[in-house]
Amino acid sequence: MDKFQEMASFVAVVEAGSFVGAAEVTGLSKAAVSRHVGELEQRLGARLLHRTTRRLSLTDDGQLFFARAKEMLAAVDEAESEISSRSGEPSGRLRINAPLTFGVLHLAPLWGRFTQRYPKVSLDIELSDRVVDLVEEGYDLAVRITNLANSQLVSRQLATTRMIACASPAYLAQHGTPTHPAELAQHEVISYSYFAARDEWTFTAPDDAPVVVRTHARIHANNGDTCRAAALDHQGIILQPDFIIADDLRRGDLVELLPTYRTMTLGIHAVYPSRKHLPIKTRRLVDFLVEAFAVPGWDVAR
């Protein structure tokens, strides 16, 4: 049995959640997919999947092998796509979605460089903090600021950003400065509507223990700039990425709170639906963005 085929069938089963689903995705019969996975387990001498009548789940060995197998399959697809597209010149329209503030501050200055490098490519850029469905809505690529551990999309990380809790000096003078995350429950909070945890803010204590606090938002907003403006107007405490508030912190217009308690660091990713048959125009854009954010010392202050 071809080891590559065994890995491909196993990965398809995990991603589809069933042997039937994997058969539909791969175009193989359910019996063939099952045989591939069984022979893979026999060859490895390890059980990779827990099978019940209702569901499949990965064993510890399965989780490890799935991660490695997916990386290997993706690398092969990427290499094939790269070779097949080397001689082609990118052309056509690229539809791109990106978060509003990050798009204005850190992506807008890059687009001119990209179109100069690839003059036959045109860009259709939409800035929105809403998470779009790339396939359903017809986007070639999106920039997302999040943790993508469970995403089925293909991604390449461009940079990282740290979430920071902060408020204006005037607000703190009137309401007091919290010294423990639990105290945030008694403060005015401006909450970001698209934040995955909504009004639950998680910190990591100096002893590495997680601290979760349920805040009570006075204002909800679906845009980080709106949250920032409310904080600058002394209306409450915000939890926002450093690329939005770095200058305010540097000037002292906002003050970082609870500095001994760590907050989340999020990845800034270029995401696209699949590596298979990736158009050369999309590949060139991904490579360009990775290059643009790989400058030594890149940070939100540049």
Q: What is the 3-state secondary structure (H, E, C) of the chain?
A: CCHHHHHHHHHHHHHHCCHHHHHHHHCCCHHHHHHHHHHHHHHHCCCCEEECCCCEEECHHHHHHHHHHHHHHHHHHHHHHHHHHCCCCCCEEEEEEECHHHHHHHHHHHHHHHHHHCCCEEEEEEECCCCCCHHHHCCCEEEEEECCCCCCCEEEEEEEEEEEEEECHHHHHHHCCCCCHHHHHHCCEEEECCCCCCCEEEEECCCCCEEEEECCEEEEECCHHHHHHHHHCCCCEEEEEHHHHHHHHHHCCCEECCCCCECCEEEEEEEECCCCCCCHHHHHHHHHHHHHCCCCCCCCCC
pLDDT at 190: 95
Q: What is the pLDDT of residues 97-156, one digit of tens each?
A: 999 999 999 999 999 999 999 999 999 999 998 888 887 788 899 999 987 655 567 888
Predicted pLDDT of residue 62 = 87
| pLDDT tens digits along 20-42 | 888 887 788 888 888 999 898 88
Phi, psi of 213 (to 5 degrees): -125, 135
pLDDT reported for residue 181: 95
d(C-alpha 112, C-alpha 209), whole Å: 46
Residues of the chain with pLDDT under 70: 1, 53, 77-88, 148-152, 275-277, 296-302
Q: What angle, 0 to 180 degrees and rounded to 10, lies between the N-to-C axes of helices 19-26 and 3-16?
A: 120
The confidence score (pLDDT) of residue 191 equals 93
| Residues 70 and 151: beta-carbon distance below 8 Å | no
pLDDT at position 301? 40
What pLDDT does residue 302 have?
39
